[in-house]
Amino acid sequence: MLNRLPAIQLSAISYKADNAVRVYATAEAERHYSHALELVEKLPAGERDERSLTIYQKRGAANFTLSRFDEAIEDYERAIEGAQAAGAIETEQAALNGLINALFYSHRVDEMARRAEETLELAERGGSAFLRLETLSIIIQKHASYGEMDEAGRLADEVIELAGSLDHKQALLNGLAARGEAHFHQSEYARAEELLERALALAIEMGDGFTHLYALFFLGLSRGNQGRMSEALAALNEMMAVAERNGDRFWLSRVPNSIGWIHRELQDFSKAFEYDRRGVEIAQQDRVLEAEANSLINLGYDHTQAGEGRKSQAAFREVESIFKRDSWMAWRYNIRLQAGKAEYWLAQGDSSRAEEYARQLFEVASRYKSRKYMVVARKLLAEMAIARGDAEEADSELKAALEILEEFPAPLVAWRVYALLGRLNLNKGDDLRAREAFSQAAAIVREIAASVTDERLRTVFLESAAVKELIDRA
């Protein structure tokens, strides 16, 4: 009986760890798995390898959910070594899938790509359609990190269809989340929301804490970009609560600047600044560079709005410094950086520099099919045309912006386009067209305001100078 005691203890500890994972107590689960590995060493030699393989994989998954990507990589590599020694091809491929996912989120994308090819070759030898499909569902993220959104979308569609027919829930979950993200980046917000809601429900069903946060994050942003502000805040606040419960730092670092963005869109600039500054602090503390870059871009906007030009420039220079150190998803943040710089130079009255960045913005946004920022670029170019007295060019830019918005609605940008069109027509002496444009802007603003359940925040928005001007003229 004494000889079997470590095995009995191991079973009990493993059960506790698995149960902790199911209730999102991931840090507790990791501690139990670490204890289990200590107990494995007390087992007879013939039992150690098989038991340790499983535990290393499970602890790797727990460390991944905790955003401890380096530790997860180490656990998966040990599981791979053990599986290779045992000749267990399917176990090796499952561990490789965990490894390539962890490599991606630790920003080691080139290494991830090499190991992904190795994993696909192993799938061919092992003949496991399930594990091959899971590998493909992870590779979607590689395409996203390089800005290859058409390829990411195509592969995600393929994975979703195959995973549905094979009832492979993990691959389906990965495909739904990644496809939702791709739709978001290309400003297809309603479609993104539909897929992300499916991903969220499946993540909860499967107890996948990491993808739960992933889906909530892009769900919040997609709802916000459709002008449903309190629903967006609800998703982000839920994300924050789940992240804190999971012990996650990767996704948690993205929450403050996202909430700051919503407050800025609602003209609540002081709160936006607070959240954006907090976002920088958390991202620096947790060493999440792309979240720090995004928060700094937000601060650049905040300082521009406050007339603090030097601070805007300092924030944008720091973002460029981050890009030199880490190019992970830099294509996406660079779009926002170009927009921020164009806004800054426009506020400084330097239309030449502003136009330079606005045209760069339009070029890069068009390359990645980020329709919202194509509209932002058109609006900025219209403002510059107005500044130099070229009403015809301004009108052309705004018409082009509205054509994009007709196919890809983005109300947070649309009301500003209509408001600018109203001012342009007012300057031209066309009062009828001016009122029509202001009325369109006012209608969108009222819809956005109606989505805000927080009375203070709704009042701040409706009583802001920009909103009152267009409502008064509607």
Please give the domain boundaries of the chain with CATH numbers for all domains.
Answer: 1-127 (1.25.40.10)
Task: List the structure tokens of 216.
Answer: 């909530």
Q: Are 171 and 206 in contact (CB under 8 A)?
A: no
Give the span between the Cα atoms of 4 and 144, in whole angstroms: 49
Give the span between the Cα atoms of 199 and 177, in whole angstroms: 6
CA torsion sign for 355, 357, 363, 366 is negative
pTM of the model: 0.94
Going by C-beta distance under 8 Å and a sequence separation of 6 or more, which residues neighbour residue 15?
none
DSSP sequence for 179-228 = HHHHHHHTT-HHHHHHHHHHHHHHHHHHT-HHHHHHHHHHHHHHHHHTT-
Task: List the structure tokens of 245.
Answer: 């419960």
Tens digits of pLDDT across the chain (474 residues) = 445 556 667 777 776 767 777 777 888 888 988 888 888 777 776 677 778 888 999 999 999 999 999 999 999 999 999 999 888 888 899 999 999 999 999 999 999 999 999 999 988 887 788 889 999 999 999 999 999 999 999 999 999 999 999 999 999 999 999 999 999 999 999 999 999 999 999 999 999 999 999 999 999 999 999 999 999 999 999 999 999 988 898 999 999 999 999 999 999 999 999 999 999 999 999 999 999 999 999 999 999 999 999 999 999 999 999 999 998 999 999 999 999 999 999 999 998 999 999 999 999 999 999 999 999 999 999 999 999 999 999 999 999 999 999 999 999 999 999 999 999 999 999 999 999 999 999 999 999 999 999 999 999 999 999 999 999 998
Task: List the structure tokens of 287.
Answer: 């060493």
Q: At what angle do helices 189-206 and 209-225 cross, to 10 degrees?
A: 160
Check residue 5 and give its pLDDT: 53
Give how far the C-alpha of residue 356 lies from the chain's centroid of Cα atoms, to the nearest Å.
Answer: 28
Q: Are 374 and 339 in contact (CB under 8 A)?
A: no
Give the span between the Cα atoms of 400 and 402, in whole angstroms: 5
Look up tokens 């999971």; give the residue.
246
Give the span between the Cα atoms of 244 and 25, in whole angstroms: 10
Give the span between the Cα atoms of 70 and 107, in whole angstroms: 11
Q: Strand runs (DSSP E) across 127-267, as ranges?
A: none
Check residue 459 and give its pLDDT: 98
Which long-range contacts link 321-324 to residues 24+ away (Cβ below 8 Å)?
322/289, 322/290, 322/292, 322/293, 322/296, 323/293
C-alpha distances (whole Å) from 421 to each of 380, 411, 415 are 12, 15, 10
Q: Are 348 and 309 in contact (CB under 8 A)?
A: yes
DSSP sequence for 109-168 = HHHHHHHHHHHHHHHHHHT-HHHHHHHHHHHHHHHHHTT-HHHHHHHHHHHHHHHHHHT-
